[in-house]
Amino acid sequence: MITSHTKLNAVIGAPLTHSLSPALHSCAYELLGIDAVFLAFELRDTALYARAAKMLSIGLTSVTMPHKQSIMRFLDSIDEDAKKVGAVNTVINRDGTLTGYNTDIEGIRCALEGVELRGKRILVLGAGGAARTCAHVVASANGSLFIRNRDTKKARQIANDFNGSTAPCEFPDIIINATPIGMHPDTNASPLPDFPFTNEMTVFDCVYNPVETRLLRDARVLGARTISGADMFLAQALAQIELWTASCIPKKIKQTLSMFLKRQLHQKF
């Protein structure tokens, strides 16, 4: 029941019609016994939103496209890792002070948990926000980073910023798709059609709709280990809640939320 104590959290972005964040956060709050609602605000003016967040005491804001960069200059402080990546996907309001974080970093780390990155040849496809975040994770784990992107200038920029290379990577150990290729409704597209995947490779797709993209299906059929963007999406949302509540979410609840999210994704896409 909504009372005068109920807290307000939100996601901001445009468009938000297909956002799964409200459903996922609401389910998490219910399981955790948190008295809060989570609403979607489709808006363009991040300066105005930052003021509104303070005025309305919005505790947690999930920030999505296209606001991950533009929100930054309206915050009181920004976490060092978010600064390195150059994007904020989470704003926590502590007594009127807004702090920006990037829990996509944690999302990628969790999705890749158990995959050795150190010294491995890691090919990242794309050079947008997700690719920069992947590059940061790879670089901080001492992986050997290769970036491939349609716009080669942007690829060189990421390679420079994260000690990577734009040279061709013939035999990658790990492939990460950080482009939207394969995303609903173009589910038959792949960034690497006819690629000779092997059972020694790991393939991680940042795309989470559908849960298993064409890229992941092709890689799985040829024996590669595959990781869905749904794992990243869940982990970044859980990290947001943990930052806001300053406490850890029990493993059992994480598992329930993982099943909830995958069910939602299968129903929608």
Question: Under the rule (CB under 6 A), what is the footprint of ligand NAP?
Answer: 65, 104, 107, 126-131, 149-151, 154, 178-181, 183, 206-208, 229, 232-233, 236
Largest CA distance in the chain: 59
Strand-by-strand arrangement of the 202-205 sheet: 144-148, 121-125, 174-177, 202-205, 225-227
For residue 180, the minimal CB distance to ligand NAP (Å) is 3
For residue 229, the minimal CB distance to ligand NAP (Å) is 3
Residues pairing with 62 in the sheet: 11, 90
Place of tokens 């999406």: 233
Q: Which residue is nearest to ligand NAP (CB)?
A: 128
- Closer CB to ligand NAP, 150 or 266, in the complex: 150
For residue 74, the minimal CB distance to ligand NAP (Å) is 20
Residues pairing with 148 in the sheet: 125
- Closer CB to ligand NAP, 78 or 158, in the complex: 158
Q: Which residue spans within the chain are E strands per DSSP? A: 7-13, 36-42, 60-63, 77-78, 90-94, 97-101, 121-125, 144-148, 174-177, 202-205, 225-227
Catalytically annotated residue among 7, 54, 68, 254:
68
Residue whose C-alpha is closest to residue 176's, from 120, 258, 223, 95: 120
Measured distance CA(77)–CA(86) in Å, rounded: 13
Helix, strand, or coil (residue 30): helix
Contact 224, 198 (CB under 8 A): yes
For residue 89, the minimal CB distance to ligand NAP (Å) is 8
Q: What amino acid occupies position 164?
A: G
- Closer CB to ligand NAP, 173 or 231, in the complex: 231
Measured distance CA(92)–CA(9) in Å, rounded: 10
Helix 21-32 crosses helix 251-268 at what angle (to 10 degrees)? 150
For residue 98, the minimal CB distance to ligand NAP (Å) is 21
Residue 68 known to be catalytic: yes
For residue 214, the minimal CB distance to ligand NAP (Å) is 13
DSSP state at residue 165: B
Contact 174, 202 (CB under 8 A): yes
- Closer CB to ligand NAP, 201 or 265, in the complex: 265
The tokens of 147 are what? 């970036």
Residue whose C-alpha is closest to residue 38's, from 77, 9, 73: 9
Active site residues: 68
